[in-house]
Amino acid sequence: LVRDFYLMKKIGANSFRTSHYPYSEEHLDLADELGFLVILESPFCLSGVGNLIPKQEIDKWCLDPEVRSKAKKMVEEMIYQYKNRPSVIMYSVANEAPIGYENCRSLVRELSEFVKSLNPQTLVTFASHRLDIGDLSNVVDVISLNVYFGWYTEGGDLDKAIARLEKELEVVHQRYPGKPIIITEFGADAITGLHSDPPVMWSEEYQGEFIRRYIEVLIKKPFIKGVHVWNFADFRTPESPLRVILNRKGVVTRDRQPKASYWILQKLFAER
């Protein structure tokens, strides 16, 4: 854990989101001590929920009183435990909720309003993989977006991906001109030691180029108030044809050795 913070400080990072659950007291102790800004996230992570629940059942599931009660309880316990942490600047009530379904949208709204009912001064958000969050913009203080043009779409074509990124961000800003935006996820997988010139997907060079070009766009947008690369370190995931044992979007390996993208990030952050 100490090495994790050492590597983050060395790269010039000053913020992270606890994904997708609140971290340990020891973790937050170090964040407090070292001056990190933390978005504390509830365990209510719905990434890939369509792979677990039939799509026709998702909206019904979000309406289930037991689901809603548990989601609310998780948020309440998270805030109660960490409310006096100087490092915690904002709470995220969910990650990638399927807000295209009305009952799921109303659940995120209910959770956000619940946070405000506990303390109107508390900042609240949720990490969305949809760029259009509709009227939920009225119940969050910051719009948080997970964006992967160049990986899950436009794969391998960074020119096309970056052009789309610029276009889509301007659309979001025009849609919600009064709201600050944080990019809470962006990144590409890289297998350690896999190199390619020109860069191709899964190589360290592609990951580095992906991150570099994203940041060069994002820092020029005054309405973008922060960026979180997905993610810090490689981690274990369920077996899948989309994964090579690990989620390899880390800028360091699972045993905390830097990839090429780590040094690119360090240079970019130093220039800021």
The residues with which 41 forms a beta bridge, in sequence order, are: 92
Residue 22 DSSP one-character state: -
Strands 235-236 and 246-247: antiparallel
Rounded CA-CA distance 238/67 in Å is 24
**Which candidate in 41, 57, 96, 170 is catalytic?**
96
**Which candidate in 41, 185, 204, 205 is catalytic?**
185
The strand order across the sheet containing 37-41 reads 15-17, 37-41, 88-95, 124-128, 143-146, 181-185, 224-227
Contact (CB, 8 A) for 96 and 129: yes
**Phi-psi group of 184: left, alpha or beta (phi > 0 → left; psi -120 to 50 → alpha; rest → beta):** alpha
* Torsions phi, psi for 146 (to 5 deg): -105, 120
Q: Where are the alpha helices (DSSP H) in the chain?
A: 2-11, 25-34, 55-63, 65-82, 102-118, 158-175, 204-218, 260-270
CA 209 remoteness from chain centre: 19
Q: Active site includes 96?
A: yes
Integer CA distances (angstroms), 179 to 126, 176, 229, 249, in order = 13, 6, 21, 28
Question: Mind giving me the DSSP string for 177-229?
Answer: TTS-EEEEE----B-TT---SS--TBSHHHHHHHHHHHHHHHTT-TTEEEE--
Catalytic residue set? 96, 185
